[in-house]
Amino acid sequence: MVSLNFLERAINRISRVIALLGLVGMLTLAVATVCDVLARWLFSAPIAGVRDLSQLFTAVIIASCFALCIAEKNNITIRFVGSALPPRGRYSLEAFGNLVTMLVFAAMAWRIWAYANELAVDGETTMVLGWAFSPWWRTVSVLFGICVPVQLVVFLRSLGCAISGKTPKESAQTPTEKAGENA
């Protein structure tokens, strides 16, 4: 059986690769924008299609970072209610929040896919390059869909904490790591 620790490490690695690809897209867009601005300033001739690229790249770039944010638990969390509860209550509230977050990402992936279908049916394209919008929004939908199993692992970890009453760090330790601490 695959351990939750293994899944967390694997998801973290995959999420980093996806975010790195998003970073490459952002750098590509930044270079294109700088070149476009320089071309406008020096030659009074903008580079055709740079604005189109920014329309297409921006949503994909943003969506590519969500999975890593979830995997590394860098999302904003408000815990003032949970801090007043005993450990099991606090972790139960955390698990509930993680479950809701997972369902929100699943709903967003589904709705964005439906939106991409509408764009495809309408034949929506960028003004200058004539590129279809739908494949780009399908990519965004897939990236949101990837967030669902990532959030599932986070939810399972928090559910384990709620059941055991142990902190996330304690529940993430393997028997070998626990034995090393006691030695």
* Residue 10 tokens, joined: 């694997």
Which residues make beta-bridge pairs with 125? 132
Sign of the Cα torsion 86, 87, 88, 93 reads positive
The Cα-based distances of 90 to 14, 84, 136 in angstroms read: 29, 8, 39
Q: How many domains does the chain have?
A: 1
pLDDT tens profile 14-46: 999 999 999 999 999 999 999 999 999 999 999
Residues 6+ apart with CB under 8 A from 2: none
Cβ contact 26:65 at 8 Å: no
CA dist 153 and 150 (Å) reads 5
For the segment 128-140, the average pLDDT, to the nearest whole number, is 97
Please write the tens of the pLDDT for every residue from 54-78: 999 999 999 999 999 999 998 887 7
78-128: per-residue pLDDT in tens?
Answer: 777 888 888 888 999 999 999 999 999 999 999 999 999 999 999 999 999
Residues listed for the chain: 183
Structural domain harbouring 139: 4-182
* Residue from 135, 12, 18, 109 nearest 65 by CA: 18
Cα–Cα dist 133/3, whole Å: 40
Q: What are the distances in angstroms from CA 71 to CA 57, 78, 93, 146? A: 23, 18, 19, 11
User: How far, CA to CA in Å, does 55 sit from each of 29, 62, 136, 144, 172?
Assistant: 10, 12, 10, 18, 41
- Spatial separation of the C-alpha atoms in residues 93 and 79, rounded to whole Å: 9
